[in-house]
Structure 1
Amino acid sequence: MRMQLMLSVCITSLGNYDWMKKQRFVSGGIALIHLAVPLAVSVSSSAVSANAQVNAQQDWHMRAGAAADYLDRQWGTDSGWSASENWQRFPIVDALIEYQRRTGDLRWEGKINAAVRNRSGLYLNDDDLWAVIANVHAWQIEHDPELLAWAATNYRRIVTEYWDELCGGGLWWDRKRTYKNAIVNELLIYASTQLYLATRQEPYREWALRSWSWFASSTMIGADGLVNDGLDARCGNNGAPRFTYNQGVLLGGLNDLSEITGDPQFRALAVKTALAATRTLVTTDGLLTEPFDGLGRDGPMFKGIFAFHVGHLIGVMPAGAERAELRDWTRRNGEAVWRLTGEGSRPIDGLWTGGSDQHGAAAQASGLEILLAAAS
C-alpha cells in the first residue's frame, strides 16, 4: 500500500506555528472628541471583562495545581499510579503535559519523562495508540527525537498489521482480530493528525482522512453525533453503550481535521458531538457520567479524556452561544470536582457526584483535566 510504504521513508520535521498576531488601531482628530466618554466606558468595560477572565483562569490553574500535587503524591503507591491500567499512564502523562503547557509549571517534567518511556504491558492496539499520542505530545515539549521516532515506528506497525478490508476497512482493536470498535479507530484518526501536525508528512494526513472516511460510514456515529462502542459480526452498529471517552477522542480528531484541511465542517461536527454529550451523558445536575457503573479500573480515566478534548475544542471556538454553553458546562463540572475534594485536601473521586471509592491516579488525572478545561 502506497501510504504504508511512504511512512517507512518519512523524515521528521518540525511544523511551523504562528502563535502571535498583532493588531493595531489608531484614531484621532477633533471630530472624535464627542465620542471620548462612550469610548472610555467601552474600553473600561472591556478591560474589566478581560481582567475577570484572566483572574478566573488563574483560579482554575491554582485548583489544577492542587490536583496535580495530589497526583504527584500518588507516584509509585499501590493505590496510585501503580494501581492504574497500563494504558492509563499515557492519558495521565497528557494531563500533566497539558497542565505544564497551560501554566508553565515544570515540576512534573521528571514524572512525564519516566512515565512516557515506560511502554511495558501494552497488549491491545488502542493501548499502543495511547502511547503513540503521548509520545508525540512529550516530544512537543522535550524535542527528544527518540520519542517521535518511537511513535512513528509503532504507528506504522499498527496500520500495516491491523488495518484490513473486513467491514470495508478499519483497525482491529485486539491482536487476535476479534473486534473492530470505535476507540481504536478514533485514536487512529487522532494519532494521524497529531503526527501530521508534528512532522507535516503527507502520509499521516492521508491516513487521517482515510480512517475518518471509513469511520464516518461505519454506522458507529448516531444521528445525534454520539458514538457507540463498536461493530457487530455483521459489521453493523452493535448498540453498545456510549462511553464518554469515545465522544472525547472523536472531538480531538475532528478538531484536528479542520486544522489540517481548513474545512470547518469537521469542527462543526465536533461541536455537535460535544453539545450532545454534555446534554445527554450527564446526571440531572449536568455532571458527566458513564452509562453505567462497574467499569472497573478503566472507567475513572474516561471522563478526563473527554474533558481534555472538550477543553481544546473550546479554545478554538469563536465567541457565541455554543462556546459559552460548553465553557459553562466545564465550570459546573469543575466546581463539583473541586468541592468534593474539600478544595484540594482530598483525592478526586472517580464519580464526580461523589460517594464512590474510585480513587487513584486515573481518577485524579481525570479531575485535573476538567479543572484545566474549566480555564478555557
Structure 2
Amino acid sequence: MPGRAVKGRRRLLSLAIRLGIVALGAGCAVPLHAEDAPWSTRARTVAAYLDQQWGQPAGWGASEPWQRFVIVDALIDYERRTGDRAWRGRVDAAVRNRAGLALNDDALWAVIASVHAWNGDHDPALLDYASDTYRRLVTTYWDDRCQGGLWWDPARSYKNAITNELLLYASTQLYLATGQQAYREWALRIWSWISQSSMIGRDGLVNDGLNASCRNNGQPYFTYNQGVLIGGLTDLTTITGDPAYRDLAVRTALTATRLLSTPGGILREPVPSIGSDGFMFKGVFAYHLGHLLDDMPAGPDHVELLRWSQANAEAVWQASDAGMRAIGSDWSDPASAAGAASQVSGLNILLVAGASADPGGPHL
C-alpha cells in the first residue's frame, strides 16, 4: 500500500498547485499562511473541491434536492464577490433542474435561486418560473388558519418559520427584480404575520414553527431560520428605506452568533444530530449574514459580527487542512460527516470573512 499512499500525496500536491494554494519558492512547495492567503483564494479552493468531489451535469451529488438551489446561490455570490465566472455553466444547468422538489419550502428555494440566476443572464424563463411558482403557492397554500401564513406542505399539516421566511425573502427579491408593487405588499404582509406569530422571541431568535393551537411549538432555534429571517429583514430596509427592519436583523444576528456558538465561538446547531438537511443550515445563515454585513453601517455591531465571521472562517479553513479535505458538517469537529452541502456552508462563511472588511460592499 505504500505506493498508493505516495500516489495519493502526489495527486493532492498536484491539485494544490493547480488551485494556487501553494507557493513555489527555493525549489520547494510552501503552504500559504493565513496572513498570505486572501479569502478569495481560499473560496476558490473550496469551490473547486466541491466541483471535483460532487459535481454532476445538473447539480451536485451528496445533497438534497432543495440544497441544489442554495449551492446555486452560493456560487452566484462567489462570482459576484470575486468576479470568477468558472462555475457559471454549473449554475446555469443546476438552477433549471427542479427534480425532487416536494414541499412548499423546496419550491421557494428554487424560486429564490431562479431570481438570482435571472439577475445574471436575464433569461425570461427563469423569472417566469419564479413568478408563476410564487403565485401558485400564495393562492393555494396561504389561508386564514393561524390568521395567515403559508403551509409547509401540500397536506397542510404544519405552518412553520422557514416556509414563511422564504416567502418573505422571495417577495423582496422578486420586488427588487421586477419593481412590481404586489411583491412589496406581500413582503410587508408576510412580515406582519411572522412578527405576530409568536415564533420570534424577545431576543430575536426564531424557532421552528407553530403547534396545533397556532402558538410557538418550542422546537429548536436552527441556524438557517435565523439566516433567512436576517435576509428578509435586510431587504425590507432596502425596499422601504426604514432602518428599523435592519436593526431587527442585526439583533437576530448578534443573538445567534452569541448563543448558537460553541464556547470557543464557532457556530453550531442546537441539537447534536440534524441529518443531511442540517448540513446546509449554517451555510444559509452565513450567506444572509454576509449580505447584512454588506449593508450595515460601521460601528461596534459590524465589528463584532465581522470578527466572529472571520474566526469561524479560519476554523473552517484549518479544519479542512487548507482546502485539501472536505469541510465537515460541524465546524468545530474536523472529523464530522461531510458532503456537498457542508462544503458549501464552509464556502459561504469564507465569502463572508472576505466580503465585508468595510461596510458598503464586497471586499475579498
Q: TM class, shorter-chain normalised?
A: 0.7 to 0.9
Identify the match of residue 179 of structure 1 among 152, 158, 170: 158
Cα shift readout 1:155-180 (whole Å, capped 9, x = no counterpart): 00000100000000000001100000
- Structure 2 Cα separation of the partners of residues 263 and 252 of structure 1: 15
Q: 1:168: which partner in 2?
A: 147
TM-score of the aligned structures, taking structure 1 as reference length: 0.83
Name 1:121's counterpart in structure 2. 100
2:81 to 85, 102, 115: 102
Aligned pair 1:64/2:47, yes or no? no
Deviations 1:313-368 (Å, cap 9, x if unpaired)?
01111111000000000000000000011111111111101244421110000000
Whether 1:153 aligns to 2:94 is: no
Alignment partners' CA distance in 2, 1:323 and 1:355? 28
Query: Are positions 1:141 and 2:120 aligned together?
Result: yes
Which residue of the partner structure matches residue 275 of structure 1? 254
Q: How does 1:209-220 map to 2 (within 5 A)?
A: 209-220=188-199
Mean alpha-carbon deviation: is it higher for 353-362 or for 260-269?
353-362
Which ranges in structure 1 are unaligned for 5 or more consecutive residues?
A: 1-54
Partner residue in 1 for 2:30: none
Partner of 2:331 in structure 1? 352
> Is 1:188–2:167 an aligned residue pair?
yes
Cα distance in 1 between the residues matched to 2:165 and 2:96: 23
For residues 249-283 of structure 1, give each alpha carbon's deviation from its aligned partner in whole angstroms, at most 9, with x where no partner exists: 00000000000001110000000000000000000
Q: Structure 1 CA distance, aligned partners of 2:249 and 2:262?
A: 22
Higher mean displacement: 148-157 or 348-357? 348-357
- Matching residue of 1:28: none
Aligned to 2:214: 235
Cα distance in structure 1, aligned partners of 2:336 and 2:200: 33
Return the match for 2:54 from 49, 71, 75. 75
Distance (whole Å) between structure 2 residues aligned to residue 234 and residue 204 of structure 1: 29
Give me the identity figure in percent.
62
Say which structure, 1 or 2, has more relative contact order (CA 8 Å, 6+ apart).
Answer: 1
What secondary structure is seen at the aligned counterpart in 2 of 1:345? coil
Counterpart code for 1:230? G
- Structure 1 position 144, deviation (Å): 0.8
The one-letter code matched in structure 2 to 1:188 is L
Say what the alpha-carbon RMSD is for the aligned residues: 1.5
Look up the match of 1:201: 180
Residue 284 (1) aligns with residue 276 (2): no
Largest Rg, 1 or 2 = 1
Distance 2:283 2:98 in 1: 21
Distance across 2 between alignment mates of 1:75 and 1:151: 26
Give the direction of change, closer, same or farther, for the CA distance of 1:123–1:57 in structure 2 (3 Å limit): farther
**Equivalences, count:** 320
Distance 1:368 1:238 in 2: 32
In the TM superposition, structure 1's runs of 4+ consecutive aligned residues that sit over 6 Å from their partners are 55-58
Q: In the TM superposition, what is the alpha-carbon distance from 1:292 to its structure 2 partner?
A: 1.0
Contact conserved, 1:81 with 1:362, CA < 8 A, in 2?
no
Give a deviation string over 1:24-50, Cα, whole Å, max 9, x none.
Answer: xxxxxxxxxxxxxxxxxxxxxxxxxxx
Q: Secondary structure at the match of 2:54?
A: coil
- 1:259–1:56 Cα change, 3 Å: farther
Native 8 Å contact 1:307 1:369 kept in 2: yes
SS for the counterpart of 1:74 is helix
Deviations 1:45-74 (A, max 9, x none): xxxxxxxxxx98971111111100101112
* Higher deviation after alignment, 293-302 or 303-312: 293-302
Cα distance in structure 1, aligned partners of 2:136 and 2:335:
40
> Does the 8 A contact of 1:116 with 1:138 survive in 2?
yes
3-state SS of the aligned residue for 1:97?
helix
TM-score by length of 2: 0.86
Letter in 2 for 1:231: L
1:81, distance to aligned residue in structure 2 (A): 2.2
Alignment match of 1:88 (pick from 60, 67, 75): 67
Is this contact kept in 1: 2:228–2:285, CA < 8 A?
A: yes
Work out whether 1:263 is the aligned partner of 2:238: no
User: What runs of 5+ residues in structure 2 fail to find an aligned partner?
Assistant: 1-33, 357-364
Mapped to 2, the partners of 1:76 and 1:197 lie a distance apart of 31
CA contact (8 A) 1:81 1:360 kept: no
Post-superposition offset of 1:216: 0.3
Deviates more, 1:57-66 or 1:198-207: 57-66
**What is the distance in 1 between the residues matched to 2:290 and 2:176?**
19
Matching residue of 1:18 = none
Q: Is the 8 A contact 2:319 2:334 kept in 1?
A: no
Alignment CA distance shift 1:215-1:56 (3 Å): farther
Task: Indicate if the aligned counterparts of 1:70 and 1:347 stay in contact, CA closer than 8 A.
Answer: yes
The offset of 1:293, in angstroms, is: 2.1
Q: Comparing 66-75 with 213-222, which one deviates more in the overlay?
A: 66-75
Give the counterpart of 2:322 among 336, 340, 343.
Answer: 343
